[in-house]
Amino acid sequence: MIIGVGIDVVDVERFRATVQRTPRLVEKLFAPQERDMPVESLAARFAAKEAIAKALGSPGGMAWHDAVIPRTPGSRPVVETTGTVAAVAAEQGVRVFHVSLSHDGPIATAMVVAEA
């Protein structure tokens, strides 16, 4: 059963300018295993984190680091949740998140389906 669906789009150049202006933002938004990725990949992962929140109904109080989309070469992206995001997902009966990431030219996008 589908619990929720979320989608988000990020302007890559705007995202790049923001993290260049405020470098500590990368530490705030991303777990250590995500931080060394190219800016396009970070923008897509930021979109995924926003899409996860939307799929869960945008509850407040979730921590950015509690949803991680690690790079897994040769495999589709997966969502790893801990802490606040895992708690909200469990409360809603979400057992798995399906995620699709894309970045092409100036746009990064992500779609998430939360499934029971």
**What's this model's pTM, rounded to 2 decimal places?**
0.95
pLDDT, one tens digit per residue, over 84-109 is 999 999 999 999 999 999 999 999 99
Q: What percent of the chain has pLDDT over 90?
A: 96
CB 54 within 8 A of CB 10: no
**Residue 21 to residue 80: CA distance in whole angstroms:** 28
Taking residues 28-50, report their average pLDDT.
96
CATH at 22: 3.90.470.20
Residue 80, CA atoms < 13 Å, CB-side half-sphere: 11
Confidence of residue 39 (pLDDT cuts 50, 70, 90): very high
Taking residues 23-52, report their average pLDDT.
96
pLDDT at 72 over 90: no
Task: Identify the domain containing residue 40 by its residue range.
Answer: 2-115
Domains identified in the chain, total number:
1
